[in-house]
């Protein structure tokens, strides 16, 4: 019986950890409107961001890694993943589309 209780406790603990993780970001299509390398920000005209429950619009995002900004230029069509990190909308992945 003790083994069952410890297994159940571990299962509940694992479920609590996964529930606390941020929602999985889903790739969204966008167009790069502006790049601000010193501030590590990018302005994207994007489609609906489902995981953030956000309609299509143009807005400024922080980028998680400044190196992402070197891979794109204004006018590029891109796919990106974003989530709210530390209270700020943040691009987690960014890639030009062909």
Q: What is the pLDDT of residues 31-73, one digit of tens each?
A: 999 999 999 999 999 999 999 999 999 999 999 999 999 999 9
Share of the chain above pLDDT 70, in %: 74
How high is the pLDDT of residue 5?
57
How high is the pLDDT of residue 20?
45
Which residues sit opposite 49 in a β-bridge? Answer: 54
Query: Which residue's structure tokens are 């790739």?
Result: 27
Quick check: pTM over 0.85?
no
- Give the CATH fold of the 25-96 domain: OB fold (Dihydrolipoamide Acetyltransferase, E2P) (2.40.50)
Residue 7: pLDDT band by 50, 70, 90 thresholds? low
The whole-angstrom separation of Cα 77 and Cα 50 is: 19
């Amino acid at each position: 019986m003790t083994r069952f209780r410890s297994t159940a406790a571990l299962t509940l603990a694992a479920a609590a950890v996964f529930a606390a993780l941020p929602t999985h970001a889903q790739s969204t299509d966008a167009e790069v409107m502006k790049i601000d390398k010193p501030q590590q920000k990018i302005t994207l005209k994007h489609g609906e961001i489902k995981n953030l429950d956000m309609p299509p619009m143009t807005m400024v995002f922080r980028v998680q890694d400044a190196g992402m900004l070197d891979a794109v230029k204004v006018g590029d069509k891109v796919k990106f993943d974003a989530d709210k990190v530390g209270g700020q909308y943040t691009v987690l992945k960014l890639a030009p589309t062909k």
